Amino acid sequence: MDSITDAAERLLQTTGSFTMPKLAKSLGVTASSLYNHISGREEIIELMRGRLLAQFPIEETTPGDWQDLVLSMLRLMRRAYCSVPALGPLLFTQTITHPAVISMYDRMATQFSEAGFADEELIPLISMLDSFAFGAALDHDAPHDVWEFPVAHDAEPSPLQRAIADNDPATRAERSFEYGCRLLIDGMRLQRER
């Protein structure tokens, strides 16, 4: 199954997508022969999901330190999504079934629960963090100069124009990500204290 997963990942990296016929062709086999080894496209996506987790292991955090866990997980997920950009949309449109990935999310939910978050908050919290990490991965590949205003010689610069002028485009995505992490953690802390 590793060779199938490798080939699917190569197709994603080079073409941005994969289909079973293209995957079979890249392996020099027929599409029907792939089903002797895997159940289908969904299983391949789950294998790639598990591989991402293995490539970007979760850092050990102090038990009970949910803030450290959040920061560690956000950085991990962003790096993982950045490593194979075309895989992200596939991961978000399919139910998670990979045992190691389920275990990672369960660990996160357990820490949140032990920190005092209510059970009904766990799924929204985890979904919010996942969405932020994925969005930050997309932003990572955005152009350094995200906004380009037309030149207006006599107009007073707007707040956005002033911010752009004071911005270092080369570090914008990284600074924005870290700023967002702090805001999310601060917001979670305030929510927990209610």
pLDDT at 44: 95
Query: Is 20 part of a structural domain of the chain?
Result: no
Low-confidence ranges of the chain (pLDDT < 50): none
Whether residue 31 is contained in a domain is answered as no
Domain with 89 in it? 61-193
User: For residue 37, what pLDDT is reported?
Assistant: 93
Per-residue confidence (pLDDT) for residue 51, from 0 to 100: 92
Indicate whether 19 belongs to any domain. no
Rounded CA-CA distance 1/14 in Å is 20
Query: Does 93 reside within a domain?
Result: yes
CATH code of the domain containing 153: 1.10.357.10
In the prediction, which pLDDT does 175 show? 94
Provide the number of structural domains found in the chain.
Answer: 1
| Within-domain flag for 2 | no
